[in-house]
Structure 1
Amino acid sequence: MPSSRTAAGIAATALATLLVTLPPAAARAAETRPPVQLTLPAPTGPHPLGTVSLHLVDRSRPDPLAGGHTPRELMVTLTYPARTTAGHPVAPWIEPKAGREYLREQGLSAGAVLLPLTHGHEGAPADRRLGRLPVVLYSPGNDTPRSINTMVVEELASRGYVVGTLGHTFDGVVQFPGGRVVASAPDGPATGPLIAEQRIADTRFVLDRLTELNRGGNPDAERRRLPAGLRGLLDLGRVGMFGHSAGGATVASAMFEDPRIKAGLSLDGPVAGPVVTAGLDRPYMLMEATKARPENLPDLATFWSRLRGWKLAVRAEGAEHASYTDLEVIIAQAAPALDLSAAQVAEQIGTLAPARAVAIQRAYPLAFFDRHLRRKGHLLDRPSRRFPEVTFRP
């Protein structure tokens, strides 16, 4: 697989980090004003949300990104329908120390903006009344935290999915129990291929650990207490996966390696590696913005021609690469305080109105997983008058 940081299809992931393309003057402006409290819109489904973060250690896999002397470790957050949320605190969008590192990477102080809270409640008991629930995994883009698509994650969970977000260590800031923070690995000619390989292996490992959890085990490295009701809740015969940017490439490659993943969705992501010519025989959907278009990426065009199962590509007019992430609302909220012009905002998140972009990035992933993991829904049958911005490509 080519370097995930240098290949043409993945190099455009700079927009997948908060404010990374802002001019220095905008960052300086943030230092002299009261911080802006960023927020995320509430999910629209009927179920309240619980969350739990797991510290997973793969002792069979030395981590080459850590020098090959320590086992691979990663953080995973599960978001699920909760029976009750009373007495359980709201989870932050990103852990405090990781959040400070994340802002530092963008050239902002810890007080420049106040990062949002989620709508999930830490440790809340799972709602067993819903029966066994389908599972969806999420892989973020290069150098981004696993929380970058919280709006989509929460929408799915509020409608009856268990969603696991993967923090690929050394590819986006990760905070481990006890407060230890690991930042992204420095760029280099060997970094990209190693990260791509670890992302695929991470996905397979997480599915193994979720199997353990579903049987009543506790895969957390510190054996921290798990929320009530998780045992037997996951229907691991109905597993889907989605990812943004480089996470989209992870989806395709992980599906190629692991048949447990029944359906895959890429949010403006490329493809690379053996899956390009091998294709897939399971459902696959691409939500295009400005980067992952087959006419621009020969590997993606080849891959698309080799798909043998259900497939669909949709394109949202006016969407930018970051429009399919939480940055769609975060950048819009931060823009006034950072003195961003309309042109600078459009460069980041496109010209599609944020409310419409949020509606699209929630509705279409939900429709995809509903169709292929629950066998219901009609939104993907044809273009919809509810979403005139969205066009279908064969």
Structure 2
Amino acid sequence: MPGLAPALTRRSLLSAAVLTAGLGVITRAPAAARPRSAAEGYTLPMPTGPEQLGTVALHLVDRTRTDPWVPGRPVREIMIQIWYPARHIHGHPAAPWLSPGAVPHFSEMFGLPAERVRATATHGRAGAPVHGGRPVVLYSPGLGGDRGTSTVLAEELVSHGYIVVTIDHTHDASEVEFPDGRVEVAAIPPDIDEQIIAQVVAVREADTRFVLDQLAVVNAGGNPDAGNRRLPIGLRGAFDLNRIGMFGHSLGGSTAAATMHHDRRIKAGVNLDGTLVGAAAVAGSDRPFLLLSSDHGTDPEDPTWDAFWTSQRGWKRELSLTGSVHGSFNDGQVLYPQAAPEIGLTPEQLAGMVGTLRPQRSVTIQRDYLRAFFDQHLRGRRSRLMCGADPRYPEIRFVR
């Protein structure tokens, strides 16, 4: 299949398609004929909860760190997106799935037509007033992934009353657009080895802990945005910082486990199909953690998951999603099926990228189990989905 690397392990640090730079979290489509113009964007599944959605992006600068990937950068800059329940959305425009300046590079790297990506809207309304006092969930994408690559899952949590904060790990992410129009692209060395991966994880963990610090600033009424851009009304005091969870896909799942081991502010975590990298990630914690894997058939267990299971002292579950692949756990699973006819994907190619489970069904299951986990462990709402197999979800296998 043109543009794709040889098959990787089911929980590879990278996606099912390692790009020439050695990065990637959304599977790259083959180089095929693409339309010259396409005015309509792709459609994201509607979130199911009663809350309206608002969102705002913040440009954060950590002056205690230099940039680890670009020599000479004296500070570490990252972008985050805060998704929250909104009091109302009237007069506030729909936020794009990807910021406009980042679209050309994304399209080149991942094979989705730029016109379609640029026109793809989320269900969040930019700058809408906040309906706060909510538990908080952080999201870290896979290696090479932008902060928006699990918008489908983030929006669902927000629609049911969570605030979700998604993180762009600059120069790890394929591309990040900053408010001044700069687009910073991936700069991790292409020859990724264990030493570099260990550094990637350390940087991601530092980014996440810095984000937690800045959320406390916002909650106290401060504005840590580097450009001092106006924050939505009601953001002050909106975060319940005593109830913080975190989830991530691939290396983002490992980031969640490692950060949770070191930082007690995170009360519950989820790893979506990620190999656990480094001592902190496999060391576990005394707080709840959920492992959700792709369908690996009769392949042996990932040894890093075995190590984590032995070390984990808090509540734990391991589930597997039948018919899924590594690329099933981000928004690629809903974008590529829509794009398949125009970019020339065969059914076999598409199945290799997003699995054989119908995308809408996969989204429904992931949304329901992710919400059930955080409802149980951040809100104290016991869920039958966390107790054992449920006939409504035959695709979920309880591994242990």
- Normalised TM-score (structure 2): 0.90
From the superposition, tell whether residues 137 and 113 of structure 1 become closer, same or farther in structure 2 (CA, over 3 Å).
Answer: closer
Work out whether 1:182 is the aligned partner of 2:184.
Answer: yes
Structure 2 residue aligned with 1:300: 305
Q: 1:41, CA displacement in angstroms?
A: 1.1
Q: Is the 2:258–2:282 Cα contact (8 Å) retained in structure 1?
A: no
Q: Does 1:54 align with 2:58?
A: yes
- In the alignment, the residues of structure 2 paired with residue 265 and residue 134 of structure 1 have an alpha-carbon distance, to the nearest angstrom, of 15
| Match in the other structure for 1:135 | 136
Aligned 1:1-394 pairs, distance under 5 A: 10-15=12-17, 17-20=25-28, 22-24=29-31, 26=32, 29-31=33-35, 34=38, 37-67=41-71, 69-107=73-111, 110-111=114-115, 114=118, 116-128=120-132, 132-172=133-173, 173-185=175-187, 186-189=189-192, 191-276=196-281, 278-290=283-295, 295-376=300-381, 377-394=383-400
Q: Give identity over the alignment, percent.
A: 46
Which deviates further from its counterpart, 171-180 or 101-110?
101-110
Instruction: For 1:294 and 1:133, locate their aligned partners in 2 and report how far apart those are by CA, in whole Å.
Output: 40
1:139 Cα deviation from its structure 2 partner? 0.1
Q: How far apart are the structure 2 equivalents of 1:34 and 1:109?
A: 8
Q: Residue 99 of structure 1: CA displacement?
A: 1.5
What is the CA-CA distance between 1:178 and the residue it aligns to?
1.4
Change in Cα spacing, 1:306 to 1:292, as seen in structure 2 (3 Å) is: farther
Distance 1:33 1:184 in 2: 27
Give SS of 2:259's match: helix
Question: 1:96-140 CA deviation, whole Å, 9 max, x = no partner?
Answer: 111111111235663465552100011000114xxx210000000
User: One-letter code of the match for 1:152?
Assistant: L
Q: CA RMSD in A?
A: 2.2
Q: 1:237 to 1:393 in 2, by over 3 A?
A: same
Structure 1 position 31, deviation (Å): 4.1
The structure-2 alpha-carbon separation of the partners of 1:209 and 1:228, relative to structure 1 and needing over 3 Å to count, comes to same
Q: Is the 8 A contact 1:30 1:112 kept in 2?
A: no
CA 1:282–1:84 in structure 2 vs 1: closer, same or farther (change >3 Å)?
A: same
* Cα deviation digits, residues 336-387 of structure 1 (max 9, x gap): 1122111111000110011110101111110110000001032211211211
Structure 1 residues 67-76 or 234-243, which shifts more? 67-76
CA distance in 2, matches of 1:109, 1:349: 18
3-state DSSP class of the match of 1:145?
coil
Q: Deviations over 1:258-317 (max 9, x none)?
A: 111010001111112122553221100011104799934222211111111110111111
Query: Which runs of no fewer than 5 residues in structure 2 stay unpaired?
Result: 1-7, 18-23
In the comparison of the two structures, how many residue pairs are matched?
382
Superposed CA offset, 1:218-272 (max 9, x none): 0101110000111111110100000000100100110111111010001111112
Given that residues 9 and 292 in structure 1 are in contact (C-alpha distance below 8 angstroms), is that contact kept between their aligned partners in structure 2? no
Amino acid at match of 2:43: T
1:196/1:292 Cα in 2 relative to 1: closer, same or farther (>3 Å)? farther
